[in-house]
């Protein structure tokens, strides 16, 4: 993957809806609202858009087969090149990678990327949509669900490095507090470690307040080619690097203590961005945090902390909004919410606003010039990474 893109691509607009437990709007309407905000932010009209990318997770959430096509009207994809990006929880960041490839290759100059999820339509609980993703012979007879296997992964992570559950709970405290400053947040709160550990155990060692919520919502960005972007805005945010990697679906064959697939995706994105020292050259991180431990796991996979040492960095304040490397200044999935595909693109929107100094009360101090967003999904097997910067 040593080849360079034909031309540079910038994010020139972004928008998102409220994230909420049960939206009255349809999925098409959520997609429309986010897309409309992004277009308005970029100062362009839908008729100017030459291609649309839609990210949305399992069809079972909405009970509509070929859900991408169903959402096309709301996302503005009618009668123009349109594609669906779908790699489970990694879909949101993979959607901007897909849009980037269309523009960087020269196929189009202006692309709209939309990510939507309406999980409340799935009854009695969206977890049911995941029961059929496991191997028919080796895994399904055990009756696993996603909460159980993530609990196994957290347990392995803690055992490998001697991490306490109190260390993990600090992620929930930080992110839910950060989300108090986010106008779209669903579950922002001012909590203590004691509050988190007093919440119900859903699958040991995972407590209820260590799990992101079921959410409805949408996010969108507008991408422009390098010769067009400066004509649309004097503050384009450039896509400096992209990377993605999938590991085997046989998750039981991997050491769950470390996400090597995230490291591979990060190294691909960093090489494209010219990053040789990520801890010094990246100023903001938005790692994927559907569970509290995943933020720490992913910060290590992104090479932003030593293996097993991210909890120590967190406790020392390094990942606070005012710290050396602000992590999830948005509030992350733990605080803003987790409409799966939209949550990943929400992280890209956050970097866009932070790098343009438009994040309001949650703006990180100083003049950050580069950030990384990452998402993860399927059977704990995919890493998707994008690096954004002002230059």
Taking only the tens place, the pLDDT of each residue in 183-204 is 999 999 999 999 999 999 999 9
* CA pair distance 98, 204, nearest whole angstrom: 37
Confidence of residue 58 (pLDDT cuts 50, 70, 90): confident
Exposed/middle/buried for 255, CB within 10 Å: 0-12, 13-18, 19+?
Answer: exposed
Per-residue pLDDT averaged across 106-125, rounded? 91
Residue 251: its pLDDT value, please?
85
Which residue in the block uniquely carries the two structure tokens 């509290």? Answer: 292
Mean pLDDT of the chain: 94
Taking only the tens place, the pLDDT of each residue in 233-273 is 999 999 999 999 999 888 888 899 999 999 999 999 999 99
Confidence of residue 32 (pLDDT cuts 50, 70, 90): very high
What does the buried/exposed string (b/e) look like for 155-178 if buried means 16 or more CB atoms within 10 Å of the residue's CB? bebbeebebebebbbbbbbbbbbb
Mapped onto helix, strand or coil, the DSSP state of residue 357 is: coil
Which residue in the block uniquely carries the two structure tokens 């059929």? Answer: 132
Closest CA to 217 of 11, 12, 10, 37: 37
CA dihedral over 342, 348, 351, 352, signed as positive or negative? negative
**Is residue 10 within 8 Å of 238, Cβ to Cβ?**
yes
| DSSP assignment string, 259-307 | -HHHHHHHHHHHHHHT-S-HHHH--EEE---SBHHHHHHHHHHTTSS-T
Q: Of residues 60 and 217, which shows the higher confidence score? A: 217
**Is residue 340 within 8 Å of 348, Cβ to Cβ?**
no
Confidence of residue 3 (pLDDT cuts 50, 70, 90): low
Confidence of residue 181 (pLDDT cuts 50, 70, 90): very high
Confidence of residue 23 (pLDDT cuts 50, 70, 90): very high
β-bridge pairing 237-246 and 9-16: antiparallel
Q: Of residues 133 and 357, which shows the higher confidence score? A: 357
Q: At what angle do helices 260-273 and 292-301 cross, to 10 degrees?
A: 50
Global pTM exceeds 0.75: yes
Stated as kind and residue range, the H or E segment containing 187 is: none
**In sequence order, which residues have a C-beta less than 8 Å from that of residue 179 and are 6 or more positions away?**
185, 187, 188, 189, 330, 331, 332, 334, 335, 336
pLDDT greater than 70 at residue 298: yes
* CA pair distance 297, 277, nearest whole angstrom: 19
HEC readout, 333-348: HHHCCCCHHHHHHHHH
């Amino acid at each position: 993957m040593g080849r360079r893109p034909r031309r540079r691509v910038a994010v020139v607009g972004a928008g998102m809806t409220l994230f909420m437990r049960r939206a009255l709007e349809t999925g098409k309407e959520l997609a429309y609202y986010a897309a409309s905000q992004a277009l308005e932010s970029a100062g362009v009209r839908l008729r100017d858009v030459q291609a649309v990318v839609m990210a949305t997770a399992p069809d079972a959430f909405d009970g509509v087969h070929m859900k991408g096509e169903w959402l096309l009207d709301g996302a503005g994809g009618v009668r123009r090149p349109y594609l669906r990006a779908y790699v489970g929880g990694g879909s949101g960041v993979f959607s901007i990678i897909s849009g980037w490839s269309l523009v960087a290759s020269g196929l189009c100059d202006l692309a709209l990327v939309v990510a939507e999820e309406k999980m409340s339509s799935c009854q009695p609980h969206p977890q049911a949509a995941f029961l059929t993703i496991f191997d028919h012979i080796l895994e399904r007879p055990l009756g696993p669900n996603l909460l159980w296997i993530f609990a196994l992964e957290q347990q392995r992570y803690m055992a490998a490095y001697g991490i306490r559950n109190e260390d993990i709970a600090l992620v929930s405290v930080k992110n839910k507090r950060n989300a108090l400053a986010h106008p779209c947040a669903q579950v922002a709160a001012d909590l203590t470690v004691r509050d988190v550990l007093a919440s119900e155990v859903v699958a040991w060692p995972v407590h209820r307040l260590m799990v992101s919520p079921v959410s409805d919502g949408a996010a969108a960005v507008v991408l422009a080619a390098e010769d067009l972007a400066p004509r649309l805005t004097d503050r384009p945010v450039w896509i400096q690097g992209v990377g993605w990697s999938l590991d085997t679906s046989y998750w039981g064959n991997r050491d769950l203590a470390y996400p090597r697939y995230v490291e591979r995706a990060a190294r691909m994105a960093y090489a494209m961005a010219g990053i040789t020292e990520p801890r010094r050259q990246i100023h903001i991180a938005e790692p994927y945090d559907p569970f509290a431990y995943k933020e720490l796991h992913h910060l290590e996979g992104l090479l932003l902390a030593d293996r097993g040492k991210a909890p120590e960095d967190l406790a020392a304040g390094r990942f606070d909004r005012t710290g050396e490397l602000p992590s999830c200044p948005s509030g992350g999935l733990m605080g803003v919410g987790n409409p799966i595909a939209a949550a990943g693109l929400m992280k890209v929107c956050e970097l866009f606003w932070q790098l343009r100094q438009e994040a309001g009360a949650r703006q990180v101090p100083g003049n950050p010039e580069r950030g990384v967003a990452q998402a993860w999904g399927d059977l704990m097997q995919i890493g998707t990474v994008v690096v954004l910067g002002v230059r």
